[in-house]
């Protein structure tokens, strides 16, 4: 089990394992992999504590339901798996402001955290607007040879390259 202690795994093996996980999801719950609905449901749970009537009358939550399901367990497993991998490999470096970010924007933790929060919020908004996230559209959609999955992947890579170039420019020196 030495491979569990590796800091980086083969992307080919990991890709194959994600494929197997996707087959398992279809075989057991007849659903594609996905994660973005879990975050919305988590908000529903939190909101239920302070405004249960609002959640009960909300059209989205009436359709989607605030429940713990296989997708929520997948997200929880992802978080626990990442923690476990970090613990086993000893790769627990805490980097509050990455060096590349510091070179471009300075060493302000507040700016870095605000940008990360805003970026995460935009990503989640886009995922909900598109009706799915990277795993839903990209992984599950492309595995089913859905045109929307392939268009999504192309758009994600194009947007990622454009964003990186906009934020960091063409950085040539090693960081």
Residue 71: per-residue pLDDT? 87
The CB-based long-range contact list for 15-18 (8 Å cut-off, 24+ gap) reads 18/139
Please tell me the distance from the alpha carbon of residue 169 to that of residue 164, in angstroms, as a whole number: 7
Residue 33: per-residue pLDDT? 85
Please tell me the distance from the alpha carbon of residue 86 to that of residue 84, in angstroms, as a whole number: 5
**Which whole-number Å values give the CA distances from 35 to 4, 23, 79, 133, 156, in the listed order?**
24, 16, 12, 7, 16
- What residues have CB less than 8 Å from 150, skipping those under 6 apart? 141, 142
What are the two backbone dihedrals, phi and then psi, of residue 8, each rounded to the nearest 5 degrees?
Answer: -140, 140
3-state secondary structure of 23: helix
What predicted TM-score, i.e. pTM, was given to this entire model?
0.75
Tokens found for residue 68: 């713990």
Residue 93: per-residue pLDDT? 79
Residue 173: per-residue pLDDT? 56
For every one of its 175 residues, what pLDDT tens digit does the chain have, with 9 covering 90 and above?
788 888 888 999 998 998 899 899 889 988 888 888 888 888 888 898 898 898 888 888 888 888 888 889 999 999 999 999 989 998 887 888 988 889 889 999 999 999 999 998 888 888 878 777 777 788 888 888 889 888 888 988 999 899 889 888 876 655 5
Instruction: Count CA atoms within 13 Å of residue 172 on its CB side.
Output: 0
Cβ atoms 66, 55 nearer than 8 A? yes
Can you point out the beta strands (E) in 75-166? none
Residue 174: per-residue pLDDT? 52
């Amino acid at each position: 089990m030495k491979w569990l202690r590796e800091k980086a795994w083969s992307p080919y093996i990991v890709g194959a394992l994600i494929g197997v996980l996707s087959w398992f999801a279809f075989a057991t719950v007849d659903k594609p992999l996905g994660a973005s609905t879990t975050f919305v449901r988590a908000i529903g749970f939190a909101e239920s504590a302070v405004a249960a009537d609002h959640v009960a009358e909300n059209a989205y939550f009436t359709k989607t339901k605030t429940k713990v399901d296989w997708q929520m367990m997948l997200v929880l497993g992802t978080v626990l798996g990442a923690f476990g991998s970090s613990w086993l490999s000893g790769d627990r470096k805490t980097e509050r402001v990455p060096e590349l970010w510091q070179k471009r924007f300075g060493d302000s933790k507040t700016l870095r955290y605000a940008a990360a929060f805003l970026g995460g919020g935009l990503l989640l908004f886009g995922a909900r607007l598109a009706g799915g996230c990277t795993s839903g559209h990209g992984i599950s959609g492309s595995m089913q040879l859905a045109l929307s999955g392939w268009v999504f992947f192309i758009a994600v890579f194009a947007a990622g390259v454009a964003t990186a170039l906009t934020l960091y420019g063409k950085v040539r020196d090693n960081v």
